[in-house]
Structure 1
């Protein structure tokens, strides 16, 4: 009798707290060079839970593949269990002997371990301060500020440059890019005038359900040992979670 009651009790507790497991969020992207050539494809699976009717990501896996190939040449695993904006990251590009690990040994420190393509190992401890965003946490930052961005307001934050071991000031603001047509278009650009001359804005587009449909800018995939690809990535959604992506 006690054994039979436990599942029922668990369901009642989940209902009381508004928390439950959400169907996986699945999508894929095709990255194209400025000349239109397909560079690679991305394949995403995000596991999460539904909390008060909204999807909270927990674990995110990405596989990068050459065009028309079923095997990956790079992969990334993110855990959002600590924070949707500050995931733990495990990224590997074996063909360049490169790996990147981002973790949080304490509440106020970001730890970065980078195995560079040249064979060096670099480590950084970055003070966690302000509204800090790490890696794909920018995607959740957009959703957290969905209403403000739709109303034309901007959002300032600090973004981790992992290979520099530093947080940089950025602004997320509504945009209108000629190569995109979407429910919400935003741009991410540095707040520093100097960095604006060195770093092009990243353009993002989202559909009305809050899913990323376009990414235009610098990617994390290497063209060679010294540079990364600039690409326009168009995303197709294979499966939505059972609850809303946006508030």
Structure 2
């Protein structure tokens, strides 16, 4: 692995591993309005299994609970044009079930810039992002150190935070399917700044779309191997993630892993995981 810097590991891992998949439709246009009842909420629970890139040992599991408005997440195709994510709770657990880290997302103000809090008690690490009245605040602390806080009153035109990456993919699905690249600014709490990334189509089959993601600057791409993401073309759900993760081993080194996601109504994903 080319990247020796834990900071950049956190940056990219926030986007993809913590983001994973929201079961909301591309181009959702539901907004809260006066005297209009919000759509009924439902919850989707699913699991991701992270294994070494060589297909070997199980490293950890991710347990997701995603609450959606306006759709039944257990529908046959997993999509609904009026659905949108509300909140997400994630637990990261070791193979023996020990809790590694936990995260909460709140999408209600913005699908692309959701509030979030991530905590890893093993190393006393905590990071948080909030957006209030157009002002974005990033804060983090580690190992008992004082909290570092930075505020932004002006945001990039296409700003994305944490699990908002997957909402970005869905909203730009036709563009990516056509092979056009997409550049966006990711809010990195670890660096307390916005960093440009590029995502584009790598390959396509009858039922899957594989995307590759990298640092947008041609001067920096050598620092980090591409991340690969396989999506189901019908449901637009993330099935497989390959690359650097946000979870460390006992020595503090970040894992590179292949993560396969298992959905309660998506049998092919379960079969693929079981075959490993």
**Same topology, TM > 0.5:** yes
Q: For residues 18 and 146 of structure 1, what CA distance do their matches in structure 2 show? A: 29
Pairing of 1:98-177 with structure 2 (within 5 A): 98-107=125-134, 109-117=135-143, 119-126=145-152, 127-176=154-203
Please say if residues 44 and 67 of structure 2, whose CA atoms lie closer than 8 Å, have aligned partners that are also in contact.
yes
Please say if residues 41 and 68 of structure 2, whose CA atoms lie closer than 8 Å, have aligned partners that are also in contact.
yes
State the superposition RMSD in angstroms: 2.7
Pairing of 1:1-247 with structure 2 (within 5 A): 20-35=39-54, 36-50=56-70, 53-69=81-97, 71-107=98-134, 109-117=135-143, 119-126=145-152, 127-176=154-203, 183-207=208-232, 208-223=234-249, 227-238=253-264
Q: For residues 181 and 43 of structure 1, what CA distance do their matches in structure 2 show? A: 29
Report how far residue 118 of structure 1 moved.
6.4
What whole-Å deviation, never above 9, does each CA across 1:59-94 have from its counterpart, x for those lacking one? 00101111142x522110000011111111111110
Please say if residues 30 and 40 of structure 1, whose CA atoms lie closer than 8 Å, have aligned partners that are also in contact.
yes
What whole-Å deviation, never above 9, does each CA across 1:212-231 have from its counterpart, x for those lacking one? 11111222222357542221
Please, what TM-score do these two structures have when normalized by structure 2? Answer: 0.73
Unaligned 5+ segments in structure 1 are 1-13, 241-247
Unaligned 5+ segments in structure 2 are 1-32, 72-79, 267-276
Please say if residues 46 and 64 of structure 2, whose CA atoms lie closer than 8 Å, have aligned partners that are also in contact.
yes
Please, what TM-score do these two structures have when normalized by structure 1? Answer: 0.80
* Higher relative contact order, chain-length normalized (CA < 8 Å, sep 6+): 2
How many residues get paired? 223
More strand by share: 1
Q: For residues 200 and 232 of structure 1, what CA distance do their matches in structure 2 show? A: 14
Please say if residues 186 and 194 of structure 2, whose CA atoms lie closer than 8 Å, have aligned partners that are also in contact.
yes
Larger radius of gyration: 1
Report how far residue 150 of structure 1 moved.
1.6
